[in-house]
Amino acid sequence: MKIQPTPLKDCYIIEPTIFEDDRGYFYEKFNEQKFEELTGMNGHFVQDNISKSSYGVLRGLHLQKGEHAQAKLVSCLEGKVFDVAVDLREDSPTFGKWFGVELSAENKLQFYVPRGFGHGFSVLSEMAVFAYKCDNFYNKEAEGGVLWNDKELSIDWKLPENDVILSEKDKIQPTFAAKNY
């Protein structure tokens, strides 16, 4: 496992060591001990979620607030997505900055998004299956979010705007300036 820092404080790209031969491949998707050793971050996860989405679906920007905040370790099991994290920690040197990475079944990369970040992804392939490991349980009352196309953040989702498919909730998320985080 290799850990690549990103421009955002405490966010990491995780590249697995893949063992391939004519039969297929094997890789260790997650190892809590190695993760903590390489990042210094807590790697204890309590909930796994899977979503399946078609091309153009954009899910985000979401987060859990307060004591229900969640760190996430995300990956794409089928297809390809553009995954985005936004630092919403007001005391962070990277507050208000975003970073995105392409995750796919082919590259097998994972992206660690710590607590206090908004998170979302856009589907770039015909279909994608996306996996989330979360270090805290979901709580509906603790939902927060930021509008996906907030002008202040100016995120490039790698999709033509006419192709974007949103949930009703994501269409009406507040702006970054409204501080729903």
- 62 as an active site residue: the answer is yes
Residues 6+ apart with CB under 8 A from 146: 61, 86, 88, 118, 153, 173, 174, 175, 176, 180, 181
3-state secondary structure of 52: strand
- Which one of 12, 112, 119, 132 is the catalytic residue? 132
Residue 68 is among the residues annotated as catalytic for this protein: no
> Residue 17's CB: how many other CB atoms inside 10 A?
9
Pairwise CA distance, residues 133 & 128, whole Å: 17
Out of 12, 62, 112, 181, which one is annotated catalytic?
62
Residues 6+ apart with CB under 8 A from 124: 55, 79, 80, 81, 82, 102, 158, 159
| Residues recognised as catalytic | 62, 132
